[in-house]
């Protein structure tokens, strides 16, 4: 019988060891599950961080490309601004020569040079701002004076003192203009004539 008791004791010990192993395995499994959940949460946080970083980088690329396009488009803005007074002076020279009956060959030569310079500026996107009889636009016109006018509606340009220019969609120089304040009042006209 002692053999049977030994076998029973061995079996009891084996069952106890299996139960202990089962408890250890379940504790180990719980620890593995906890570690797996922690790693899954860490992975989720890192993925969200990556997505934010990727979106920020895309925004940066877009801004850098826009800045580069603007630099190409408007990079020569300062040079073009410096050429505008040259055009003004050539126009004044042509007008003065015509008013004083100057040499037609000289006037014609200056006029051709002016047209050539204007054509070169147009190739780079420089255009004159339309003014006379246009509605007053404070972004493109600089009002120097308000004058009464019966022929031009109120808040429209009556006269242009200096041309304005635009480079693509940006104003290089605002046009200096006088703006209509509407028809002159009869009482103002009477006091002006008296």
Nearest one of 79, 160, 91, 65 to 125, comparing CA atoms: 79
Q: Which CATH superfamily is domain 125-194 in?
A: Head domain of nucleotide exchange factor GrpE (2.30.22.10)
Residue 160 C-alpha from the chain's centroid? 30
Q: How many residues does the chain have?
A: 194
Question: Using CA atoms, how far apart are residues 89 and 122, in angstroms rounded to an integer?
Answer: 18
What would the pLDDT profile of 48-70 be if each residue is shown by its tens digit?
A: 999 999 999 999 999 999 999 88
pLDDT surpassing 70 at residue 8: no
Q: Where are the domains of the chain?
A: 1-74, 76-124, 125-194
Confidence of residue 21 (pLDDT cuts 50, 70, 90): low
Q: Which range is least confidently modeled, 3-7, 17-21, 85-89, 152-156?
A: 17-21
- pLDDT of 15: 65
């Amino acid at each position: 019988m002692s053999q049977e008791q030994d076998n029973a004791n061995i079996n009891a010990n084996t069952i106890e060891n299996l139960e202990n192993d089962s408890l250890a395995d379940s504790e180990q499994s719980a620890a593995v599950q906890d570690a797996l959940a922690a790693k899954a949460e860490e992975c989720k946080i890192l993925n969200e961080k990556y997505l934010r970083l990727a979106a920020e980088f895309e925004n940066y690329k877009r801004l850098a490309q826009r800045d580069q396009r603007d630099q190409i488009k408007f990079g020569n803005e300062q040079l073009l601004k410096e050429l505008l007074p040259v055009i003004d002076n050539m126009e004044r020279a042509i007008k003065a020569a015509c008013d004083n009956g100057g040499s037609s060959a000289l006037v014609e030569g200056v006029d051709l040079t002016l047209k050539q310079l204007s054509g070169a500026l147009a190739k780079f996107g420089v255009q004159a701002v339309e003014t006379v009889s246009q509605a007053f636009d404070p972004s493109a016109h600089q009002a120097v004076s308000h004058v009464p006018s019966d022929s031009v509606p109120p808040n429209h340009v009556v006269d242009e003192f200096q041309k304005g220019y635009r480079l693509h969609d940006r104003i290089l120089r605002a046009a200096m203009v006088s703006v209509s304040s509407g028809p002159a009042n009869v009482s103002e006209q009477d006091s002006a004539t008296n």
